[in-house]
Amino acid sequence: MRGEEGSKGCTRREALGSQAHREVPDEHRSSGGAARPRRGATLCWSWMTSNDLDLAVRHRVYTAMAASGRAPTAARLSLELGAELGEVRTSLERLDEGHALVLDAVTREVRMALPFSNISTPYRVESGGRGWDANCAWDSLALVRLLGLRDAQVLDRGGPGRDGRVLTVAVGNLAERDGVISSARPAWRWWEDIVFT
């Protein structure tokens, strides 16, 4: 049955989900033999585990956040990965439950991929004509390191009880060293309400 195309670019046997046939196609193997998706390929997830899908979804979210500052929707992830929308939504829920991503309470789309924020916030990092929103002051500094930014502006637009501020990163170092980052609750309680924290 190899080569008979089924749905979403899978071979017929893979599309039918045969449990007896769990072979990974050669084009989905790395040089070391491990299963990997092809760049830009529509994939067949029938031969992958839920953990494989979770890793692929998380990777796509973080890659998009780093590149554009915004996460793909569940529908977009479904198209990019060649997985059913329901499978992608279930994967996102598992990632949320495991604190790998944070989903919006209403839409169930990605709200946070720490330290990235998928919505506009008072905290923003700008570098080379590009920008990324962060969830808090701490996350904005983490974004500079995560993205390997040598020169950047770390913006805090201010809010109730605090003035706005701009910090400068020059040649990979924070120029301003004064100031304090405070949190409304202790770190061990952050996940009780990570959006508020």
Q: Domain boundary at 85, 112, 139, which?
A: 112
Residue 115: how many other CB atoms lie within 10 Å: 23
Q: Which secondary-structure segment (H or E) carries 124?
A: strand 123-127
pTM (two decimals): 0.71
Q: 161 pLDDT band (50/70/90 cuts)?
A: confident
Domain's final residue, options 112, 139, 170 = 112
Lowest mean pLDDT among 108-112, 140-144, 155-159: 155-159
pLDDT for position 32: 46
Structure tokens given for 69? 């500052």
> Mean pLDDT across the stretch 108-129?
96
Domain housing 22:
7-112
Total of domains in the chain? 2
Q: Are residues 94 and 40 in the same domain?
A: yes
70 lies in the same domain as 25? yes
Are residues 76 and 56 part of one domain? yes
Let me know whether 52 and 14 are in one domain.
yes
Q: What is the mean pLDDT of residues 42-65?
A: 84
**133 and 96 together in one domain:** no
Based on the domain organization, do 126 and 104 belong to the same domain?
Answer: no
pLDDT of residue 162: 81
Q: Categorize the per-residue pLDDT at 45 as very low, low, confident or very high, splitting at 50, 70 and 90.
A: low
* Lowest-confidence segment of 44-58, 98-112, 179-193 by average pLDDT: 179-193
pLDDT tens profile 70-102: 999 999 999 999 999 999 999 999 999 999 999
Asked if 14 and 85 sit in the same domain, the reply is yes
* Domain closes at, from 50, 81, 112: 112
Q: Mean pLDDT, the chain, as a whole number?
A: 78
**The domain spanning residue 76 has which CATH number?**
1.10.10
Residue 158: pLDDT over 90: no
- The tokens describing 173, both together, are 């170092």
Measure the CA–CA gap between 76 and 46, rounded to whole angstroms. Answer: 19
Count of Cβ atoms closer than 10 Å to residue 77 Cβ: 25
User: Is residue 51 exposed (0-12), middle (13-18) or buried (19+ Cβ within 10 Å)?
Assistant: exposed
Q: Is residue 197 part of a domain?
A: no
